[in-house]
Structure 1
Amino acid sequence: MEYSNVSALLEKYWACETTEVEELQLREFFAAHEGTLPPDLQEAAPLFRYYHAEEGEGDTMPELFTDVRAPWETATIVRPFWQGWMKYAAVLLVGVGMGYGVQQFIQKKQMTEGSAYAIRDTYNDPKLAYIETQKALQILSKNLNRGKSQMEKLSYLQEATEILEHDRN
């Protein structure tokens, strides 16, 4: 086989496009040419020589296993009597827990519907509700304005810092 054909086969091999017959040709070529090869073929030579050397050895499996059965294959597993019932007890426990949770939810819902703390409209007069809302918003505004004065102090500090930095330069 000519070197140009081998180079073309190698390009196909690296692109994963070769058939088994072409790979066999490459293995046989590199096994037969252990001497000097062109530099572009020397790189792949050890790989294909290894494949050729290992080709015959992987055909048979060494005799490691015998027909004697392993101890765990012949022994019967004896479980305690209660172990089979544990899965049923777990399902029962989950069911009881879910029933208890639903019952607690229903009781809580009934308590809030009948109690004085249930969420409902507390003002029958819209004018009174409007006055109470204005009071709440005034308290909120007062507290927000307190924070605004602190922020103004920070802006004065920032201006002073900028003046000092400008004077240094």
Structure 2
Amino acid sequence: MEKATVKALLEKYWQAETTVEEERALAAWFSDNPDADPELEPYRALFAYFDEESRISPGEDFEVRILQAITASQPLQPGEPLQPGQPLRPIRHFHGGLIAAAASVCILVIGLFLLRPEPPSPSAVVAKNAIVSTDTPAAALSVAVIKDTYNDPQQALTAIRHALLVASVHLNEGRKQITGK
């Protein structure tokens, strides 16, 4: 192969557009031409490294060592090398933390849903919000008597319109602050 062809294949290689055969041809060219152009010297070292790494194997007893490590029952301390036949058990650091988190969630659920105060009865709400006449005897307060604030319906309508206008003005001011318009 010529230098221009090698450069073109290298360019395709860095763009991840080469085929397996082209990559093998590049590796073979770099291994067969030790006196190649100094410009291509770093690439020769790279392909030599790939070749060396492809020859590394885990060994014949690799599967046995893995199975021994998986089926073991004794914990391996940090930094301690694994000896052949030594059992291995993972150390659980967060076991207590998970129990504490689950207990916290349970207490929160119980506090929110089971220990709620009972809602007041409807008559108590009416009695709280009602204007009770002063001439009502104390024994009759269990049934609230509601007295109107306004005697004239026009005054009541005017007061309602005023309250709605005030609420509308405040809502529009809030909308202006949010939208900026």
Give the TM-score category using the shorter length.
0.3 to 0.5
The answer to which structure has the higher helix fraction is: 1
**TM-score after normalising by structure 2:** 0.44
The higher-RCO structure (CA 8 Å, 6+ apart) is: 1
